[in-house]
Amino acid sequence: MEWLVVVLNFIGQQILNVPAYLIGIITAIGLMALRRSAGQVIGGGLKAALGFLILGAGANVVVGSLDPLGKLILEVTGAQGVIPTNEVITALAAEEYGATSAYVLVLGFIVMLLLARFTPLKYIFLTGHHMVFMSLLLSVVLTVGFGEEFSWLVVIIGAMLLGVIMVVMPAFAHPWMKKITGDDTIAMGHFGSAGYIAAGAIGQATGGRSRSTEEIKFPKGLSFLRDSMVATALSMVLIYMVFAIWGLIVDPAATAELLGGDDAGATIMAGFALALQFGVGVAVILYGVRTVLGELVPAFQGVAEKIVPGAKPALDVPIVFPFAANAVLIGFISSFVGGLVSLVLLAIWLNPMFGLALILPGMVPHFFTGGGAGVFGNASGGRIGAALGGFVNGIIITILPAILLLVLGEFGFANSTFGDADFGWFGSLVGLSVIGPTGLGVVLCIVLSLVLVAGASIFQKKVVDTGWVPGAKRDAFLAEKKEQPTH
């Protein structure tokens, strides 16, 4: 059976773990289902894969720009605590639980396809690295809960849970996705969805008369800010300059080392270059998204028609960024502020009272999930929704990782935790379910899965399929106001 572990590990780590390969394969299968020529199949699959690689390259540029800024903020403020990092805890867990997670990953993907085929939840989750993260989280929690002697049970229950969460969360997020994209072709496939849904709900509740972030009117002299790439880069320049100057005042040597400057002037310009690099990364991401959508969506019709009728691809969060570029920036900044407020709350109250760890705001998770939350909040609540939605997301991705850390702390990973919202709530619920006897843990995990699938199916039929539109009253009010004559 060792060869089977090797094969499954190869499929899980080298193919399913690489979103570009997965997207390319799905695109090629879809084109074959549509009876395209061999050249069109190969070309379409490669172009879709290249588009996702372009998206990933842009994400790497953004991460490379934000990482020094995050370290600089910690340096100048003297904050101490845990920065949630999916990649770090995954690397720690993979050494011991990698083989189990490979089984969970592959079988979980099959469970997802079966659920998409035979339930109303017609979503195919295609964000490969998040599949890997969730499979490892479930493998760790279930192995420690059930015991290593029940590895077969870990695989079965883990695959069930993974398949369930991959079809359930896109369903709950889909009304906002339809509003954002203007059609029903793609879904959200990212395990920060609880934050996005909360942002959309906050926008629905608070932004009844707020205009879209994309309608922000700049003075004539600032008309260049209409270009989202310019506005994004300029905003990061201002943020970088503030902390670079602050750092040079507080600790010049450490600031120069972090930013890569030899003296004060070189350090300032190094920060300026990193800020511009951020703008470049965002532009690359947007281009990659457009390339992927141009190939994947038409090809996916073949998959939907032949394999899972009516299925929609659930894609990574940057897929929504081009639809509201201003909202991405507003959501990012608001999420970071929410993280800072939550850190104070943890330090003053939740840490002393409940022992929750201090979760420091990481720039990377706040950019990607905060940006997504801004887009969701804007869809139903305009500028107010984008700002408050991003803020709420910042609270969620601070508090939930702190709670998850209590569960993971029991499992030997007390110095790290997963950062995005769905890892927090789902991992904590599964962890609490398997604390007791094995039989009870299995029953609770099955009940959790059934409740999620049933709830999402009802939501799909009663809300998504009936055409509920988030922010419809706001849209009607703004349309009516626009039609009123001006005097």
- Are 360 and 343 in contact, with CB atoms under 8 Å apart? yes
H/E element, 188: strand 187-188
pLDDT of residue 218: 63
pLDDT of residue 131: 84
pLDDT of residue 225: 56
Q: How far is CA 2 from the centre of its chain?
A: 34
pLDDT of residue 381: 92
Q: What is the maximum span of the chain, computed from C-alpha positions, in angstroms?
A: 80
Question: pLDDT digit of tens for each residue in the chain (487 aa)?
Answer: 677 777 777 776 677 666 678 778 878 887 887 788 889 889 988 888 888 788 778 878 877 887 888 788 777 777 667 778 776 677 667 767 877 887 888 788 889 989 999 999 999 998 877 887 898 899 988 988 888 778 889 999 999 999 999 999 999 999 999 999 998 889 999 999 999 999 999 999 987 788 888 887 766 665 555 566 776 778 778 888 888 898 888 888 888 888 887 788 888 999 899 888 888 887 887 787 677 767 766 776 666 667 788 889 899 999 999 899 889 989 999 999 999 999 889 888 887 877 787 887 877 788 889 999 999 999 999 999 999 999 999 999 999 998 988 887 766 566 667 889 999 999 999 999 998 898 999 999 999 999 999 999 999 999 999 989 998 888 887 777 776 655 5
pLDDT of residue 468: 92
The rounded distance, in Å, linking the Cα atoms of 130 and 195 is 16
Within 10 Å of residue 437's Cβ, how many Cβ atoms? Answer: 10
The rounded distance, in Å, linking the Cα atoms of 45 and 29 is 8
pLDDT of residue 390: 97
Q: How far is CA 190 from the centre of its chain?
A: 4
pLDDT of residue 220: 63
Within 10 Å of residue 272's Cβ, how many Cβ atoms? Answer: 16
The rounded distance, in Å, linking the Cα atoms of 460 and 458 is 5
The rounded distance, in Å, linking the Cα atoms of 394 and 196 is 11
- Are 128 and 18 in contact, with CB atoms under 8 Å apart? yes
- Are 124 and 113 in contact, with CB atoms under 8 Å apart? yes
